[in-house]
Structure 1
Amino acid sequence: MTAFIINRLQASLDALVAAKQYRQIPNLQHHERYVISEDKRLLNIASNDYLGLGGDKQLQSEFLNQLSQLPVDNVPRMSATSSRLLTGNDTQLQALESELQSWYQNAVDKQNLASSKSVLVFNSGYHANIGLLPALTALPIKTIILADKLVHASIIDGIRLSQSKLVSYHRYRHNDYEHLAKFIEQADSSVERIIIVTESIFSMDGDRADLAQLVQLKAKDTRIELYIDEAHAIGILGDTGLGLAEETQTLADIDYLVGTFGKAFASIGAYIMCDEVVKQWLINQMRPLIFSTALPPINHAWTRFILAKMPSLTEQRLHLAQLSTTLSDAIPERYRVSSTQQKAGYNSPIVPYILGDNALTVEKAKQLQAAGFYALPIRPPTVPANTARIRLVMNAALSHEDCQRLIAHL
């Protein structure tokens, strides 16, 4: 690399520093509810470990004890060593997909819904979202993708990878279903397929999509398919933790239900619940699945261990909802997302504290860290310009006293 390129890169990095948008990988140690940063013990309110399972030493000991009871030949391997289509498939992974399918089926049966789904596991939510839309739109069918303005970067990347002469896309205003309906109305008869894409709980604003309203839109046009990313709802919403779709009884109406294990599950990986034919199509077309080494079987064993407990974690979900409501209600209106997006009561564990200015947000994060909280500034381009914020995140390992102490420092 030439000195010219190095100098240009350095100049661009310096500009990021000046704009308070420079990112660095933090040097951290983890200890249950806390992180150790720069020799300070800070309460972690920045993680997506919503149920507090990631730091639960007793849970980890129980899992390791179970492994120690297995015959040596049955202990899950530490690496898959190749892609799933070669030798990366494993009994742990197959069992996980079967158990996820049962989780879904039990939920729909309990709600008397006529639906069945197959399950396909991926290496991460990012792998899922950059691969699903390109695979789904690989058929020579004129398709329109309609995505919420605030969907995750991985979905945006998936949309970009899907562009062709037969595929177009539009971004509708965040949770604005009248705007979405106009795009649907404008789709002429030559359009054979409309895929609506949204998160159920939005990762930065913490608000919810109205799944019931999306289902109503779908009922009016047979071309519509719903792709719902439940990454931030899985584990914390629904009677058994199956997400906002379970809570709103819309499971049977969603064509592509995506969830992840890297947040409330305190594991790694992701999945899609979809029609069996779609699953087989993805196996044959989805590049991140075909060309990635599969996750280690030991990770799938841990995910199965957590999944078995998920329906019984009702107390943790209730405690989390109480903490989240308490914190959300304490945020003054001037620091909220917008008056149109506020709803009474509990939305999610993600509570944005919006300061707008980058420098002010960075300074506020430092103040909270000095007070003993691991709080981080979130700035553009992760969020829209002039909406820099502290992303406050509750988890079930926190106490009501922890929550009140945080509120006092806001």
Structure 2
Amino acid sequence: MGNLSAIPTLVGPGDVMILDAQVHRSVRMAARLTEAPIRTVPHNSLEVLERRVRELSAEYDRVWFMADGLYSMFGDFSPVGELGALAERYEKLWLYFDDAHSISWTGRNGRGHVLDRLSPAALEKTVVVGSLNKAFGIAGGVMTFPTDELRHQVFSLGLPMIFSGPVPPPMLAGIVASARLHLSGEVAERQQQVVDRIRFFNREAVGYGLPLLNESESPIRYVVTGRDIESTATLVRRLQESGYFVNAASYPAVPAKRSGLRATITVHQTQDDILGLVQAIAKWLAGGASQGR
């Protein structure tokens, strides 16, 4: 809802949008509601992006690049520092990040991956949208703007902002309670616990030969199966029957040849839990899942 409020309001008819190939679907939906043209660049390709920015800057008032801070399917990060440097170098380049998946578990006071890594100069041309529905532990969203004027513009003209109701009081109380926890020292301890568990998963996964798509230190862990949808779904069902809740990822959410298992690491899992998951995946990938079909 935040993306649907912000993007059609901020992007003018004289602007152009460049979307990372794997940006979240909600960003794509919102982009289509504008009058501005849309271009797409390969995932995390800074070279292609800079070439497009240079070309489009001669024709349009503003060039918006839209990406995720942490990509929701594969669990890899956006090169935020390098993107900020581009925004400083190119006057017409503005950045728009959906950072829903890194709010709370990373960044000072849980502010996420993007806000922790952009320079003050880059932040003057950056909008960040986040979610309180995930690691923050409650519901709702958050948006940050470089100026009060842009904030007022979205909150006054963004259609979902105009036609939706306020946050229900019990939910608001939960948001306030979570915010207080994030402003305390406790959140840093919890964040480190998450990172320790992620590193343990990565080490064990490599040791057991699991085909990880990447070894990034994010809670979203992706094991490539490369199988068709039916085989991947069967593998997921076998893991769930063994007591491990994982998601199946397949086309069109991911490219057809990159179907896989998507698991989330949390502070509530023990090392035994994580090791058991790794061992179960290794067992079924070795052929056990296909035997039950």
Q: Which residue of 2 aligns with 1:351?
A: 221
What is residue 292 of structure 1 aligned with on the other side? 164
Q: Corresponding residue for 1:135?
A: 9
**Secondary structure in 2 matching 1:356:** coil
Q: Aligned AA for 1:310?
A: H
Larger relative contact order, structure 1 or 2 (CA cutoff 8 Å, min sep 6) = 1
Matched residue type, 1:189: A
Aligned residue for 1:245, secondary structure, equals coil
- Matched ranges for 1:253-268 at <5 A: 253-254=122-123, 255-268=126-139
One-letter amino acid of the counterpart of residue 15, structure 2: T
Instruction: Say which of 187, 198, 203 aligns to 2:67.
Output: 198
Which residue identity does 2:219 align to in structure 1?
A: P
Are residues 1:362 and 2:256 paired?
no
CA distance in 1, matches of 2:46, 2:210: 25
**Secondary structure, counterpart of 2:223 in structure 1:** strand
Residue identity over aligned pairs, in percent, reads: 22
Q: Which residue of 1 aligns with 2:288?
A: none
Q: Deviations over 1:364-401 (max 9, x none)?
A: 11221121112221222222222221111101111111
Which position in structure 2 is the counterpart of 1:245? Answer: 114
Aligned ranges 1:268-283 → 2 under 5 Å:
268-274=139-145, 275-283=147-155
Task: Give secondary structure in 1 for the equivalent of 2:142.
Answer: strand
Q: Distance in 2 between matches of 1:322 and 1:180?
A: 34
Which string of whole-angstrom CA distances, capped at 9 and with x for unpartnered residues, describes residues 232-264 of structure 1?
111111232111134425466232111110001
**Contact 2:88/2:122 (CA < 8 Å) preserved in 1?**
no
> Which 4+ runs in 1 deviate beyond 2 A?
245-254, 328-337
TM-score normalised per structure 1 = 0.64
Are 1:173 and 2:25 matched, yes or no?
Answer: no
Could you tell me whether the CA contact under 8 Å between 2:245 and 2:263 is conserved in 1? no
Aligned residue identity for 1:388: S
What is the CA–CA distance in structure 2 between the aligned matches of 1:256 and 1:246, rounded to whole Å?
A: 10
Aligned to 1:64: none
Contact 1:331 / 1:353 at 8 angstroms: preserved in 2? no
**1:49-72, Cα deviation, whole Å (9 max, x unpaired):** xxxxxxxxxxxxxxxxxxxxxxxx
Q: Give the match for residue 318 of structure 1.
A: 192
Q: Where do 5+ consecutive residues of structure 2 fail to align?
A: 282-293
Deviations 1:279-324 (A, max 9, x none): 1111232111111122212211110110110132112111111111
Partner of 1:146: 18
The answer to whether structure 1 residue 230 and structure 2 residue 99 are counterparts is: yes
Q: Hey, what does 1:217 align to over in structure 2?
A: 86
Matched length: 273
| Residue aligning to 1:54 | none
Contact 1:361 1:377 in 2 (8 A): yes
Q: TM-score, normalised by structure 2?
A: 0.88
Letter in 1 for 2:97: I
- Cα RMSD (Å): 1.7
If you compute each CA radius of gyration, which structure gives the higher value, 1 or 2? 1
Give SS of 1:259's match: strand
Is there any run of 5+ residues in structure 1 with no aligned partner, and where?
A: 1-126
